[in-house]
Amino acid sequence: FEEKQRYLPDNPTLLSVGTFKWLPNVEAVTFLVQKIWPHVTKRVKNSKLWIVGNAPTKDVMDYQEKDPNITVSGTIPDIRDAFKGAHVLVAPVFSGKGTRYKILEAMASGTPIVATTTAVEGLDVKHGIHVLTSDTAKGMADLVVKLLKDPALQKKLAKNGKAFVKSKYDWSIISEKLDTIYQTIGSNHA
């Protein structure tokens, strides 16, 4: 996942990423728009919300009709363009299991993250160091606002997130670990 140069728009921009063929992502964006977004827009008047993901449902598409500060893009050719153009990835995921690609991609791109504990489950990230976490709408909104108003915190999370991904998920690290596993297995059967 090669990084692209970040270009942040003038308006503070929140990003939501995920395929809408997966119900937990539909639930997450619904929670974001209905429960978190109103708290953010009251405190950061010029903020924007960008929703990116494959196969947005009619309800998801309708969010941009109801609020001119919400844009639903559906699939975009290069997801890195979304990460490089957002001040924060918001991931209010409360259900579902699997690989947390959107979290790892955001960190690799230097995009700060506000997420639920479920969204970062299994990644060994730390609140306040790599990401900001909360499991309530108000808590997440407060963290988003704090992050949008604190460029130093944005830089800290971006730097720490990139370093975290490089140290744990870089292919050279993974291949080295796999090689050790294969050698151990091979020596046990020799």
Q: pLDDT tens digit string along 174-184?
A: 555 565 676 67
The domain covering 13-162 belongs, at the CATH homologous superfamily level, to Glycogen Phosphorylase B; (3.40.50.2000)
pLDDT in tens, 108-138: 999 999 999 999 999 999 999 999 999 999 9
Amino acid at the residue 38: P
Give residue 169's pLDDT band: very low, low, confident or very high (50, 70, 90): confident
> pTM higher than 0.75, yes or no?
yes
Per-residue pLDDT for 185 more than 90?
no
Alpha-carbon span 136 to 138, nearest angstrom: 6
Q: Are 89 and 83 in contact (CB under 8 A)?
A: yes
Whole-number Cα distances in Å, 65 to 21, 51, 71, 178:
21, 13, 9, 49
State the chain's mean pLDDT as an integer. Answer: 89
Q: What single string gives the DSSP state of each residue in 75-92? A: --S-HHHHHHT-SEEEE-
Domain boundaries, the chain: 13-162
Distance in angstroms (rounded) separating the CA atoms of residues 132 and 89: 10
pLDDT in tens, 6-35: 667 789 999 999 999 989 899 999 999 999
Is the model more confident about 115 or about 97?
115
Band (98; pLDDT cuts 50, 70, 90): low
List strand residue ranges (DSSP E) for the chain, in order. 13-17, 48-52, 70-74, 88-91, 113-115, 132-133
**Residue 94 phi/psi, 5° resolution?**
-115, -10
